[in-house]
Amino acid sequence: MNTANTYPKVSVVMTTYNRAGYILESVESVRSQSYTNWELVIVDDGSTDETEILIAELGDPRIRFHKAGKIGLGIRLKHIGIQLCEGDFIAFIDSDDLWAPDKLNKQVAAMQQYPEAGFSITGGYNFRRLNEPIEFFYKEREGLKYGNIFFSFFRSEASILPPTLIINRHCLQEIQQSIEDSPNSDVEFLLDLAIKFKAVILYESLFYRRIHDDSFSGKNWEKGYEEGVRLIRLYRNRKMLPDKLADDASFRLYINYGESCLKHKNTKLAIRIFFRSWISKPFSIVPLKKMVKALFQ
């Protein structure tokens, strides 16, 4: 039996900046994986806290710490990490998030079961307190889906979250091209992968995203929606996204964007966003109801 083929090496890329308060938990969730043939490449974005010291004190030879200087863009940091990787598969995790102990084991097994798949993503949930989910990424909690999932992202049937991702190394050339073409996008490379390769979605919750005041998703919630709008327009203009699907995706995005605006007490912006959703579907009464709700909130 070829052990290297049975237990291929997984390179885990972790980007970080001033995460001394969380990074050890994230690193430990990698070290605690039931799948043991891995390496962890930490790419530091010029941290000024004790992040580097904490990692050095672990003394784990499977962990490499790379000081990239101040770059400020997650996808460029990931690209640096990818270039340092030695594994057959590449996975990603943020320095404040967590994995289930069997995440890598189940994803490697799925990739071996479906050798034509270029990548795999998983279910998961947001949390503020450990083991207390506040929002799941999928309605499904078990099972899998295999095939072309590009349209699934725009139907809200798949979540674009790099920390759920594991990629077959042969896809690296495609990733690098996407990064060069769109160096400011942290998710566009995943969509480009989905155009070119089949994928496996494991619906089980294997990734746990921490929500806190300094989290990227919390501080940059508006940028996330703006990026979604840009991507819908991009793939529509490229004729890769049918008009009907693009309209439906825009409608859902604007409705969710407006609801987030209300949560952040920005009523004026919420009304403008709900109006955009009405433009996407002028015969729907949902945006009108949302605007009325915003006016009287």
pLDDT tens per residue, range 87-113: 999 999 999 999 999 999 999 999 999
Q: Is the pLDDT of residue 3 over 60?
A: no
Which percentage of the chain shows pLDDT scores above 70? 93
Q: Is the pLDDT of residue 2 over 50?
A: no
Mean pLDDT on 265-278: 91
Q: How many CA atoms lie within 13 A of 158 on its CB side?
A: 26
Q: Is the pLDDT of residue 197 over 60?
A: yes
Can you give the pLDDT at residue 122?
Answer: 98
Can you give the pLDDT at residue 47?
Answer: 94
Q: Is the pLDDT of residue 213 over 90?
A: no
Residues of the chain with CATH 1.25.40: 220-295
Dihedral sign from CA coordinates of 77, 79, 80, 84? positive
Q: What is the CATH number of domain 220-295?
A: 1.25.40
131 against 38, higher pLDDT: 38
Can you give the pLDDT at residue 149?
Answer: 97
Mean of pLDDT over the chain: 90
Threshold 0.75, pTM exceeds: yes
What is the Rg, in whole angstroms, of the alpha carbon atoms belonging to the chain? 20
**Nearest residue to 167 via CA among 102, 120, 99:** 120
Mean pLDDT on 222-244: 91
Can you give the pLDDT at residue 75?
Answer: 79
43 in Cβ contact with 78 (< 8 Å): yes
Most confident region among 1-15, 175-189, 235-249, 252-266 by mean pLDDT: 235-249
CATH class, 3-213 region:
alpha beta
Can you give the pLDDT at residue 217?
Answer: 57
Residues of the chain with CATH 3.90.550.10: 3-213
Mean pLDDT on 4-8: 78
Task: Tell me how far apart the alpha carbons of residues 128 and 66 are, in angstroms, rounded to a whole number.
Answer: 29
